[in-house]
A and B are shown apart, each in its own frame.
Chain A
Amino acid sequence: MTTALDAPAAPASLRTAGLTAEASRAIGEWRDDPAWVREWRAAGWAAWQTIPMPTATTEGWRRTPLSIIDVDQVHAVAAPAVPVRRVADLPEVVRALMGTGASHASTVVQSNGTTVLAELSDEARESGVVVCDIHEAFHRYPDLVREHLGTLVPARWQPGMPSNAGKFEALNAAFFTGGLFVYVPNGVEVSLPVRALNWHADTDAGFFPRSLIIVGENARLAFLEEYASVAAPEGGHPVFGSAVVEVFVKDGGRLDYTTIQDWSLSTAGFVTQRTTLGNNAYCNWVSVSLGGMYTRGTAEVILKGKGTKADMLGLAFGEGTQVFDFHTLQDHQSAFTDSDQLYKTAMRERSRLVYEGLINIRPGSYGSNGYQANRNLLLDDTAKADSIPMLEISDNDVRCTHGSSVGPIDKTHVYYLMTRGLPRADAERLVVQGFFEPVIERIASEDLKERVRAAVDAKIGGKGA
């Protein structure tokens, strides 16, 4: 089944506009957003204007090289992408990213802020599952969307909300075009993953997708999303954007969520993903970061209901001068909640990792467990990793551990493999592959597992991305 993809082309005036108040307003008109969304967008613009740009002394931004981004050079709206009816009609570069698609029957491809392909499996459609463009959802499911949109990642940052600043989330609210609405009704279990690809092919315009994922009570979904982008022209401003995903898993629901960032090495991007879990809900969240010259990844899970459990896994592999800037939160707000995080990275050449992870055990979270581990391999002396695990505990009868390590590849492991006949290079490759395997094996798609393995393999050999 193919859903309506008839977004009108953006007016010419928008195509050359910068990130201005006028452009923000015009996007709402162009996408025919309802009045409440337009108001909300305006709040995003106001917040973008008032929240100061973080600097090298702002908490949480001290290691962030923001100077590479000049927002005055970024256009608000990308060149229109052409909708297609079949995967086979997608551009070659997008099809290459899609792989065989064998293990996922529902596929959505968005490009330059519009949906170019949406295929939903019969199984999913018949059971009432919705996968569509977010703008379409404003009209088709207004109540559902209005109840959730912006409640986890608001347009204007609320005092006490668990984040650092909200500057780039506000930018997303002001200029968002595209993004997905995914809804699984109560009690519905979708057996095959829903796969979403966000391909940004415009070097002048920013990408600002905003997605909303709702997994109903006792429902089950595997959602795979991937971000990819075109390379910037030599010496030009980096391709830039800010993506936001809000995820709700209702009571007893289960979400297997895999997100892959595979931007070009000349892209500087922000991704903010926040998930909230209802009573006894479970989330298995795997975040893979491969591309980007600069990536700021904010991944937060709110263990809101009693008895919730979240596993958060991360993988990043840097080379060249790539910078990965990760900020994670395990926010325990209820009793008997469990969170377990494992972030593993490898950095080659002059690449750099920043990891700041917080476990927050709030009052009332007695009987909870929070675990956090960040392991970083430095494959060259010139690579760097700063790891800052943090704990904040405000209740009793909890168990928390956190730890991090930064270091070279384990010589003992390499030696052992060599004594079994593997040449040094092969032994080292195997150790690095093995290092990531506990993360990769949690990806809810065989296709994507293989794709990530191949990407890791290419990076080990220095021919990645």
Chain B
Amino acid sequence: MVVAPSTQPHVSGTGSATPTLAVRDLRVSIDSREIIHGIDLTVNKGEVHAILGPNGSGKSTLAYALMGHPRYDVTAGEVELKGEDLLGMSADERSRNGLFLCFQYPTSIPGIQMGNFLRLAMKARFGDAAVKTFRKELTEKLKILKMDDSYMRRYLNEGFSGGEKKKAEILQMALLKPEIAIMDETDSGLDVDAFKVVADGVNAMRGPDIGFVVITHYNRMLEYIKPDFVHVLIGGKIVKSGGPELAVAVDQNGYQPILEEVRAQGIEVELMEEAGATYAREEPTDREHDPFRSHGLTGL
């Protein structure tokens, strides 16, 4: 594998022996087609890493692969979460060990009440004791996210607007207190007000106990959630890493200068459709997509 100097994984400055999340030479395929061609990434608690990239660069694929989606095959490389082999864990084990993915297109599940679901998720992560403090914590988080208590009686994401779905994702993240949170294009589909609420919710969680991987293709997100480190992902590779100034450069000049710079170093970068994102979009479960929609029952 050819790795240009500019693609070296960023070594974070905490100096701790075991990084919270360590991704080494990760390769990911969907339906035997390789999308991620070797990624290195190290994220520690207390850090916010932004991953920027054009559509189709493999950002969502990286997110899904880390969260153990069965359709994404990791063909090479290793990932450690707090020193433990992440790739050997099922999705639920990853979650219980402190990894969280804030989905770009959260699934709607009719029939499962939000409140009941959150209580079960809390119990899975923290054990029976969490059920006792659940109500109090929930009330607190709902307030931060400007969400009404009535959400708890609604079905999971069912009939939620784009903004409501994203808020619900942040709510889950706030309750489950992950050590590493991956946010996949959380800014997409949000109006300005909802966007601010979501960003405030994330900022309220920032601190020494959590590391973020913020995936986005707009700088807007990063104006509200200031990253410590910025990585540019193009063609399934991290082609450049740096500080917040890198995001500003991308915002002003686009990806073309970076592409040219990388290609000048003799590194092959191909642009492609982002299969992962396409896959996620293929699965509408909302009632509005149901061809058998009725005035009440039939969409359920």
Contacts and interface: CB of A to CB of B under 8 A. Distances in A.
A342 B297 contact: yes
A434 B112 contact: yes
A338 interface: yes
Contacts of B144: none
B109 A418 contact: no
Contacts of A311: 296-297
A288 to B, nearest CB: 15
Contacts of A372: 298
Interface string A423-438: 1101100110111111
Interface stretch (A46-54, A126-134, A405-413): A405-413
User: Interface centre among A311, A313, A421, A434, by most B CB within 10 Å?
Assistant: A421
Contacts of B113: 437
B122 to A, nearest CB: 8
B294 A438 contact: no
Interface string A357-375: 0000000000001011100
A383 to B, nearest CB: 20
B67 A412 contact: no
Interface in B265-294: 283, 285, 291-294
Contacts of A421: 92, 95-96, 121, 124-125, 176
A372 B111 CA distance: 19
B36 interface: no
A463 interface: no
A416 B109 CA distance: 9
A431 B112 contact: yes
User: Interface centre among A338, A342, A436, by most B CB within 10 Å?
Assistant: A342
A403 interface: yes
B297 A373 contact: yes
Contacts of A426: 120, 124
Contact of B292 (A373, A410, A423): A373
A424 B92 contact: yes
B244 interface: no
Contacts of B124: 420-423, 426
B136 interface: no
B241 interface: no
A63 interface: no
A196 B300 CA distance: 29
Interface in A11-60: none
A433 B294 contact: no
A163 B292 CA distance: 26
A401 interface: yes
A436 B283 CA distance: 21
Interface residues of A, number: 37
B117 interface: yes
A418 B298 contact: no
A100 interface: no
A151 interface: no
Contact of B70 (A313, A340, A411, A422): A411
Contact of B295 (A371, A419, A422, A434): A371
B214 interface: no
Contacts of A415: 69-70, 91, 107
B90 interface: yes
A342 B298 contact: yes
Given A371-B292, A430-B117, A412 B283 contact: yes
A338 B95 contact: no
Contacts of A449: none
Contacts of B91: 415, 418-419
B109 A413 contact: yes
B293 to A, nearest CB: 7
Given A411-B70, A420-B124, A420-B172, A434 B92 contact: no
Interface residues of B, number: 41
A372 B294 CA distance: 8
A332 B125 CA distance: 52
Contacts of A434: 109-112, 155-156
Contacts of A259: none
A446 to B, nearest CB: 15
Contacts of A435: 110-111
B285 A410 contact: yes
A401 B292 contact: yes
Nearest to B91: A418
A274 B113 CA distance: 33
B92 A438 contact: no
B19 interface: no
Contacts of A422: 92, 120-121, 124
A114 to B, nearest CB: 38
A412 B295 contact: no
B12 to A, nearest CB: 25
Nearest to A344: B300
Contact of B298 (A371, A423, A433): A371
A410 B283 CA distance: 10
Given A422-B120, A424-B90, A340 B296 contact: yes
A258 to B, nearest CB: 15
B101 interface: yes
A417 interface: yes
A129 B298 CA distance: 34
A416 B91 CA distance: 9
Contacts of A402: 292
B183 to A, nearest CB: 13
A341 interface: yes
Contacts of A417: 109, 117
Interface string A384-419: 000000000000000001110000001111011111
Given A401-B293, A412-B285, A419-B67, 20 more contacts: A313-B297, A401-B291, A403-B298, A415-B69, A419-B94, A419-B100, A420-B172, A421-B92, A422-B124, A424-B90, A430-B112, A431-B109, A433-B111, A434-B109, A434-B111, A434-B155, A434-B156, A435-B110, A437-B110, A437-B113
Interface of A: 311, 313, 338, 340-342, 369, 371-373, 401-403, 410-413, 415-424, 426-427, 430-431, 433-438
Interface of B: 67-70, 90-92, 94-96, 100-101, 103, 106-107, 109-113, 117, 120-121, 124-125, 155-156, 172, 176, 283, 285, 291-300
Question: Which 5 residue pairs spanning A and B have beta carbons closest together?
Answer: A434-B111, A437-B111, A371-B294, A403-B292, A421-B124
13 contacts: A371-B297, A401-B291, A415-B107, A417-B117, A418-B95, A419-B92, A419-B100, A420-B176, A421-B125, A424-B92, A426-B120, A430-B112, A430-B117
